[in-house]
Amino acid sequence: MVFFYPEIKEALGWERIEVINDFTAVAHALSRLEASHRHQIGAGEPQANAPLGVIGPGTGLGVSGLTPYRSGWVPLASEGGHVTLAPMNDAEAAVLGRLRARFGHVSAERAVSGPGLVEIYQSLAALAGDVASDRTPAEITARALLGEDRYAAKAVDMFFCFLGTVAGDLALTLAARGGIYLAGGILPQIAEALTGSRFRERFVDEGRYRRYLETLPTYLLTHPFPALLGLRALVRCDRFVIDRADQ
Over residues 201-234, the pLDDT tens digits come to 999 999 999 999 999 999 999 988 888 888 887 7
Range of the domain at 176: 38-224
Residue 247 has pLDDT above 50, yes or no: no
The CA distance from 179 to 46, in Å, is: 6
How many structural domains comprise the chain?
A: 1
- Tell me what pLDDT residue 239 has: 46
**CATH number of 117's domain:** 3.40.367.20
Average pLDDT of the residues in 181-192? 92
Torsion of CA 137, 151, 147, 111, to 10 degrees: -40
Residue 110 included in any domain: yes
Q: How confident is the model at residue 160 (pLDDT cuts 50, 70, 90)?
A: very high
Residue 82 included in any domain: yes
Residue 20 included in any domain: no
More reliable by pLDDT, 127 or 223: 127
Residue 7 included in any domain: no
Residue 144 has pLDDT above 90, yes or no: yes
- Which amino acid is present at 247? Q
Residue 27 included in any domain: no
Q: Which residues contact 104 (CB under 8 A, 6 or more apart)?
A: none
Over residues 68-84, the pLDDT tens digits come to 988 788 889 899 999 99
Residue 247 included in any domain: no
- List, in sequence order, every residue forming a beta bridge with 109; answer none if it has no partner: none
